[in-house]
Amino acid sequence: MSTRFSGKSIIVTGAGSGIGRASAIGFAAEGAQVIAADRSDAVHETVRRIEAAGGTARAFQGDAGSEADVAAMVKVACELQGGIDVFYANAGISGGLTGLFDCTVELWEEVLRINLIGPFLAIKHAAPKIVERGKGAIICTASVAGLRSGAGGPPYSASKAGVISLVQTAAQQLSGSNVRVNAICPGLIETGMTRPVYDHAREVGKIDRIGRLNPMRRGGEPEEIARAALFLASDEASYINGQAIAVDGGLSSSH
């Protein structure tokens, strides 16, 4: 077993499904003590899988877009795990594909609250604790939709572009602290969020069309994003800071 994160205290939000679950499992498999946070009780299944594999994790059920809940998950990590080394702000919602002129203000507010204010709150509350450790990392899940709109609904794309800006600002503001802040921009990944797209493609016998615009000719797996998150959290990424890294099979470079 690799021990890249042995003794490290790591919070992952959106850990009840998809990319967050794969990442929580990946961090724990490499020795981390993980706070697996999600608003869904599916997070208990993530913890069960980690423990069954011999790892250490605690479930935190709460809202990654609520300041009180983010402050509480940071407090739990500090009290039960002695501090925080890594925060992976991954929780997000798609908000659907409603066209710009049909979007409501309520939809914009909810997507921005979870997808953009959530990562801001993670940085605001976790960064001071990570700084106390002398080094560490914050990772946020953005999207290829944040690099160029079109891969999601209007508030989704704007929220993810905001996340890319946020990590640049945070990296600057944490200058000299040895805490790195980066974003991952996944392409199309098969998770709870994209299940309707995959289910429909399977139903109509066109699953092979899912990756037709991708140079890899396929969609991605949650574990392929998790591996990037683990890399960015590790010392191997010691000089990568303030970046938005596409993990999309080449999609964003080809269209």
- Which range of residues in 71-79, 174-182, 191-199, 230-238 is near ligand NAD by CB under 6 A? 191-199
Residue 75 parent element (H or E)? helix 67-81
Closer to ligand NAD by CB, 9 or 17: give it: 17
DSSP state of 10: E
Residue 137: HSE in the Cβ half-sphere, 13 Å Cα cutoff: 26
Q: Is 192 among the residues that bind ligand NAD (CB under 6 A)?
A: yes
Instruction: Report in angstroms how near the CB of residue 68 gets to ligand NAD at its nearest.
Output: 12
Report the alpha-carbon angle 70-95-188, nearest 5. Answer: 95
Q: Is 165 among the residues that bind ligand NAD (CB under 6 A)?
A: no
Tell which one of 20, 55, 136, 154 touches ligand NAD (CB under 6 A).
20
Q: How far are the Cα atoms of 19, 135, 242 from residue 187, in angstroms, in the given order?
A: 12, 29, 19
Instruction: Report in angstroms how near the CB of residue 114 gets to ligand NAD at its nearest.
Output: 4
Place of tokens 């990568």: 240
Tell which one of 23, 141, 157, 182 touches ligand NAD (CB under 6 A).
141
From residue 59 to residue 98, the character string flagging contacts with ligand NAD as x (rule: CB under 6 A) and all else as - is ----xxx------------------------xxxx-----
Tell which one of 12, 19, 181, 232 touches ligand NAD (CB under 6 A).
19
First to last CA, the chain: 39
Instruction: Report in angstroms how near the CB of residue 102 gets to ligand NAD at its nearest.
Output: 21
Q: Is 164 among the residues that bind ligand NAD (CB under 6 A)?
A: no
Q: Is 153 among the residues that bind ligand NAD (CB under 6 A)?
A: no
Closer to ligand NAD by CB, 33 or 191: give it: 191
Tell which one of 26, 32, 38, 116 touches ligand NAD (CB under 6 A).
38
Instruction: Report in angstroms how near the CB of residue 228 gets to ligand NAD at its nearest.
Output: 12
Residues noted as catalytic: 156
C-alpha closest to that of 19 among 171, 193, 183:
193
Is-contact 50 57, C-beta < 8 A? yes
Please provide residue 230's backbone torsions phi and psi, each rounded to the nearest 5 degrees: -65, -40
Q: Is 13 among the residues that bind ligand NAD (CB under 6 A)?
A: yes
Count residues binding ligand NAD (CB under 6 A).
Answer: 28
Closer to ligand NAD by CB, 135 or 200: give it: 200
C-alpha closest to that of 50 among 72, 77, 24:
24
Which residues make Cβ contacts (< 8 Å) with residue 100, sequence separation at least 6? 154
Give CA–CA dist 220/232, Å, rounded: 18
C-alpha closest to that of 137 among 87, 82, 70, 74:
87
Q: Which residues bind ligand NAD (CB under 6 A)?
A: 13-14, 16-20, 38-40, 42, 63-65, 90-93, 114, 141, 143, 186, 188-189, 191-194
